[in-house]
Structures are given as C-alpha cells and as structure tokens.
Amino acid sequence: MIPGQFAYHRPRTLAEATTLLSEFKSDARVIAGGQSLIPMMKLRLAQPGHLVDLQTVPELKLVLVDGDVHGAVRRDTLSIGAMVTQAEVIKNADWAKSLPILREAALQIADPQVRSLGTIGGNAANGDPGNDMPAVLMCLDASYHLLGPAGGRMVKAREFYFGAYATALADGEILTAVKIPTPPAGHGWAYEKLKRKIGDYATAAAAVIMTVKGGKVESCSIALTNLSDRPLLASAAAAAVLGTSLDKAALASAVAAARGIMYPANDTRGTLEYRVAVGGTMVERALKSAFARAKG
C-alpha cells in the first residue's frame, strides 16, 4: 500500500512549522509519530499534499511543571510537549507516582514498536474515537495548547472533540502541549480497557480519577473511550457515586448512567448492545479499582 504523493518538510522550530501550515493551509498535515497518520495515508483516507514533520522541533519535547497555590494546597500543572512518546510516558518515574493513570493507559496503547514513535500529542489531536489518551485527558480535566498563525489558545480536552476526526483544532494550528492539573496525592485512578488482542483499539474502555475521604467518595470523574463517535465525559455517572462508599446501589446507578450516554458503532468489535454492556462493565471495574487504590 503506497500513499499518495506529497512534499516533505522538516521544520527546525515551532515558528517554521506554523509558517508552513499557514502557507499550505488545509493541504498540509503535521506528522508526529505517524502511527495513525501513515496507516491512513496508505489507505488513502488521508492525502495531504504537504507533510510537516515535527520530529526536529525541540519545543515540542518540553516538559514543564507550573506550581499553583489554591488556598493552603499547592497543585502543580504538568505540561507535556506534544512530541513526548508513549514509551517516554511509560518510562517516566515521576509521572508513575504523581499521575499513574497516564502510564496505565499508555501501556494499553498498541504495542512496543508503535509506542516508541506514537506521541501523546498525536493521540490527543488525532480525533479517532478509538484513541485512548483523549478520555484519560478529559478525565483529568487537561487542556490543550493550540498554536496557530494568530497565536496560541487553550482549549479544554472536555471541549475539544466534536465527532470522529472532528475537533476544535483549526487549519493551521498545532497542538503543542497537553496541560494536566495533577490530582491530589493519594487519589485513586484506573483505566480499564477491553480489547480483542494487544494492539487493538478498545471495544470499550473507561477512565476514572477519584478522591476518597473517610471511606466515602469525595470527588470523581469518569470518561469513556470508543463508546461513541467521540470520547465521553460521564458526569452523571460520576455524580452517582459522590458521598457513597461505592456500595452496590451506587455502582449500579453509576453504571446505568454511563450506559445511558453510550452510543458505540456496530462493528467488528461487537454490536451496539454488546459494547454498551461491556462498556458498563469497564466503568464498574474502573470505579472499583480506583476506589481500592485511593487513600483516605
């Protein structure tokens, strides 16, 4: 399978990259790790005339931590450059402690070779409902920094996805970094993904971030992968467990609320009914696991 013809560009700075995108507009695509885009190009589902390779743009590898004090509590916001690979996410010992859901999710993406090139920014920006990071980043209430010819803007992950491959990213814009408010120490987390085999997209998956105080759920967010044409934030499901000790009734009501917003495709991964059924199971497992891992 040979992709269509294109011209290849390798900018050395972010400014050069955005200039190229402004020049070629919708005929240009950026390529990060290429692990989704190249397969799409081979199938001729994507046929950009210009490919702007971001691998030599050092700004996109940057990792920064911004401190932010809320009352007596210091909360850090972690900014991860878009070109940080899934393999680098997995290897990062600090994030394994402060943001373990990132590693747990990254380990379930594709396979070692794909993770060695595939990037967090590419996974976030691609817009395929099967990508895993969008739900995780929505669950964490992350924001994306988008840089275009007119400058930069921040868009919340929760407001970024409109449908399959339809996102808030405008022509000429590059997603340069994901900014994640780190959850409090002792929080619970889980990313539960059902897939047919390693390397497959999710049949259904659920991300949970939770804090527990005195044995009761103090805060909770839930997001879903591949259970609609876009990642979903399951707010009503999360609200259903607040203040509970995650007893049977609370779990059942959360699962029912989550199932209520699922609208997965009937495809080779299963029928709509099957995927809604197992989608609920993923929510239940992720809630139980996050609750068990939370301290408090």
Partner 1 sequence: MAKTHVKMHVNGSEVEGLVEPRTLLIHFIREQLNLTGAHIGCDTSHCGACTLDIDGKSVKSCTMFAVQAEGAKITTIEGMANADGTLHALQEGFKQMHGLQCGFCTPGMILRAHRLLQENPKPTEEEIRFGIAGNLCRCTGYQNIVKSIQYAAAKINGVPFQEAAE
Question: Which residue ranges make up the site for partner 1 (CB under 8 A)?
Answer: 1-8, 10, 31, 34-35, 38-39, 41-42, 51, 53, 55, 87, 110-114, 116-117, 198-199
Name the minimum Å distance from CB 2 to partner 1: 6
Which two three-digit tokens encode residue 102?
A: 């990132």
DSSP state at residue 71 = T
Cα(145)–Cα(140) distance, integer angstroms:
15
Name the minimum Å distance from CB 113 to partner 1: 5
Cα(290)–Cα(296) distance, integer angstroms:
12
Name the minimum Å distance from CB 122 to partner 1: 13
Rank residues 88 and 284 by Cβ distance to partner 1 and give the closer one: 88
Name the minimum Å distance from CB 198 to partner 1: 4
Half-sphere exposure for 19 (CA within 13 Å, toward CB): 8
Q: DSSP H helical segments within 248-271, as ranges?
A: 248-261
Name the minimum Å distance from CB 157 to partner 1: 26
Rank residues 35 and 143 by Cβ distance to partner 1 and give the closer one: 35
Cα(37)–Cα(276) distance, integer angstroms:
28
Measure the N-to-C terminal CA separation of the chain; round to a whole number of Å. Answer: 54
Rank residues 125 and 146 by Cβ distance to partner 1 and give the closer one: 125
Contact 119, 136 (CB under 8 A): no
Rank residues 4 and 186 by Cβ distance to partner 1 and give the closer one: 4
Name the minimum Å distance from CB 117 to partner 1: 6
3-state secondary structure of 155: strand
Rank residues 81 and 183 by Cβ distance to partner 1 and give the closer one: 81
Which residues are within 8 A (CB) of 23 and not within 5 positions of it... i.e. 6 or more apart?
Answer: none
Contact 21, 172 (CB under 8 A): yes
Half-sphere exposure for 106 (CA within 13 Å, toward CB): 27
Rank residues 5 and 73 by Cβ distance to partner 1 and give the closer one: 5
Rank residues 87 and 282 by Cβ distance to partner 1 and give the closer one: 87
Name the minimum Å distance from CB 201 to partner 1: 12
